[in-house]
Structure 1
Amino acid sequence: MNDGTVTLPWLVIRQDDNGNRYSVGRYATRAEAQKIADSLDRRGHQQLYWVQRVDQNGRGGDGAFD
């Protein structure tokens, strides 16, 4: 990138028992994001965690974080 910004295209998302979705964090690589999602998932809570790539405008593949 020429403008000095860092691209963090991988998002970890948490979905709670009521279906609400929250961004947990953004990461540079899928492997890094997956490591975080896996570590959170192992805590034994009822929430779901997954990794999703976002586009340059910050939108996820399903439009959940427009």
Structure 2
Amino acid sequence: MARAGGGERRGAMNDGTVVLPWLVIRQDDNGNRYRVGRYATKAEAEKIADSLDEHGHQRLYWVERLSANGTAR
């Protein structure tokens, strides 16, 4: 599921909770940022961000990974 440190794989479950460390973030024309969703893998998050970028809106989408303490990097 989630990749830590450039390639190490972790399980999908961690003490009974799902690990979703990859975020898709959107920034609008005014600079406001919003979390669009959380995903288990970087590839999944990038696929969503790419599909949203294709709509031609004046918005910017990107992928961030949550750190171990739960903050986006």
Shorter-chain TM-score tier = 0.7 to 0.9
Higher relative contact order structure (alpha carbons within 8 Å, sequence separation ≥ 6): 1
Structure 1 length-normalised TM: 0.86
RMSD: 0.8
Structure that is richer in strand per residue: 2
TM-score norm. by structure 2 comes to 0.78
Q: Once the two structures are aligned, what percentage of the paired residues are identical? A: 75
Aligned pairs for 1:1-66 within 5 A: 1=14, 3-61=15-73
Which sections of structure 1, spanning at least 5 residues, go unmatched? 62-66
4+ residue segments displaced more than 6 Å? none
How many residue pairs get aligned? The number is: 60
Counterpart AA for 1:49: Y
By how many angstroms is 1:13 displaced? 0.1
Structure of larger gyration radius: 2
Q: Deviations over 1:15-52 (max 9, x none)?
A: 00010000000000000000000000000000000000
